[in-house]
Chain A
Amino acid sequence: MSSMKVHVDPDKCQGHNRCKALASELFELDGYGNAKEVGDGSVPAALEEKVELARANCPEWAIVIVEE
């Protein structure tokens, strides 16, 4: 079975916060509002649709999804 991981590229993120709004379980913000993935970025199967939505709404193309 494949597993999915998500990563926010910190050099691209500008803090639009769309990912946090769309998939709050998977992203957290620092004090400046920049996002990073929660923990090691593992995406439970139930959240795969949400993470895809977050990726598709990031104006900076900062969200990378890797299937392992």
Chain B
Amino acid sequence: MTRSATNGQRPPVGDWATDWDHLDPRWRNDPYPIWDELRSRCPIAHTRRFMGAYLPTRYEDVRAIAYDTERFSSRRVIVRDYRLDPPPSTPPITTDPPEHKALKQILLPLFVPDEIAKIEPQTRRLCNELIDKFMSEGRCDAAQQYSRNVPVRVIATMLGVPEDDGDLFIRWIHEILEVGIRNEQMMRDGMAAMNRYLAAEIEKRKDAPRDDLITKVVSGKINGERLTDELALGMLRLLLAAGIDTTWSAIGAALWHLARVPQDARRLVAEPELMSTAIEEFLRAYAPVTMAREVVKCAEINGHPIEAGNMVLLAFPAANRDPAMFPDADRVIIDRKENRHAAFGLGIHRCIGSNLARMELTVAVQEWLKRIPDFCLDPARPVTWSEGTVRGPRSVPILFGKTAC
């Protein structure tokens, strides 16, 4: 059953404090001034869109909500125009305590630093193969020809499915998490296609186990009991969907920054030991992911009443720009020493793939700078951004070499 509140044309936002909408083109193009204004004027905004939803913009409030799993449930993690009952399940991100921990513990060992280190050499090779394809042209779209292709191919290899299926995955994610925020049919179609694909892969592993993530999830156990097919399918939906447009966005935003601020690119080439703090700073300043919670019990956050039945857009990217937490929050400081950013979430739902994402982002920036140390945005072509849950550049036209500015 589906309840639907909004239909047809989307009215432009009037007052962001009482009518916010993360699908508004102003948010898509530059959300930071919106969050800054709200933080000083109305730090927990509300909207009647999305059947009712709050928007906390202070780090402290985002953190308090992320930690309060009793009042703020993860059963819904995407703010949509409509609400599906039951909501789509991608455990453990859509699971609350006490069930959450055992499910997360099935996946955690697969993403610890030692496991991720094993796939670093192939990621480095992949980055260089991608650069080879456009190196002689002196120009490229860093979002489409580079960033987009790193995480999708890496996760395909980890899952044990053909790398060439990556285009399918990107289409489903676009349908489910982007267009699907307002278009229920598109969301259902994308989800159904993903389910058919994964169910077929699960069946193949049952007959012949392989050394891949799908096999490991399918053979996962809780208290000695095999996971049900439904649970395994849900977890694989998460592994397929969570690590693609997110890391694509992070890599794209880092390169977009370096193209606009060449002194940072030059400094990273001259002082490669700064790479680790620079990567954390890119993650802070350009965090791509917002998740959501459903208010299941009335609450109070910093004196602000929160009514049950609403959603909360947990804007980690807004928290990361809070000047109360980060001095000079709107400045990108690649040697920032203290950086407790929330790009991978806070509390029990910390992103399982954070080590993988960091490795991919680091390797992608390192290999790019080795091959293309001097580059700039192509002033003749626009930078475009994705919409909705995951925000990142979808086109970053770059000039380098002979054509460079």
Name A residues whose Cβ lies closer than 8 Å to a Cβ of B.
14-18, 20-22, 29, 31-33, 53, 56-61
Contact = CB atoms under 8 A, between A and B. Distances in A.
A29 B114 CA distance: 10
Dominant secondary structure of chain A at its interface with chain B: loop
A61 B340 contact: yes
A9 B129 CA distance: 43
A57 B354 contact: no
Contacts of A14: 346-348, 350
A56 B340 contact: yes
B350 A16 contact: yes
Contacts of A20: 113
Contacts of A61: 340
A16 B354 contact: yes
Interface in B323-351: 337-342, 344, 346-348, 350
Contacts of B341: 59
B280 A57 contact: yes
Contacts of A16: 344, 350, 354
Contact of A32 (B105, B347, B355): B105
B340 A17 contact: no
Interface of B: 105, 108-109, 111-113, 276, 280, 337-342, 344, 346-348, 350, 354-355
A59 B342 contact: yes
Contacts of A60: 346-347
Given A20-B113, A33-B355, A59-B346, A15 B337 contact: no
B243 to A, nearest CB: 16
B340 A57 contact: yes
Contacts of B113: 17, 20-21, 29, 33
Given A16-B344, A59-B346, A32 B112 contact: yes
A58 B333 CA distance: 18
A18 B108 CA distance: 16
Given A29-B113, A31-B112, 9 more contacts: A14-B347, A14-B348, A16-B344, A17-B112, A56-B337, A56-B339, A58-B340, A59-B341, A61-B340
A56 B338 contact: yes
Contacts of B340: 56-59, 61
B346 A15 contact: no
11 contacts: A17-B112, A17-B354, A17-B355, A21-B276, A22-B276, A31-B108, A32-B112, A33-B113, A59-B340, A59-B341, A61-B340
B342 A33 contact: no
Highest count of chain B CB atoms <10 Å: which of A14, A56, A60, A61: A14
A61 B346 CA distance: 10
Contact of A33 (B111, B280, B337): B111
A17 B280 CA distance: 12
B352 to A, nearest CB: 9
Q: Which 10 A-B pairs have the closest CB atoms?
A: A56-B338, A14-B350, A32-B108, A33-B112, A59-B340, A31-B109, A57-B339, A33-B108, A59-B346, A32-B105
A19 to B, nearest CB: 12
Contacts of B347: 14, 60
A17 B115 CA distance: 13
Nearest to A56: B338
A58 B55 CA distance: 25
B350 A15 contact: yes
A58 B113 CA distance: 16
A29 B344 contact: no
Contacts of B344: 16, 59
A20 B112 CA distance: 11
B108 A15 contact: yes
A4 B344 CA distance: 30
A57 B112 contact: no
A64 B337 CA distance: 17
A22 B113 CA distance: 13
Contact of A57 (B108, B109, B338): B338
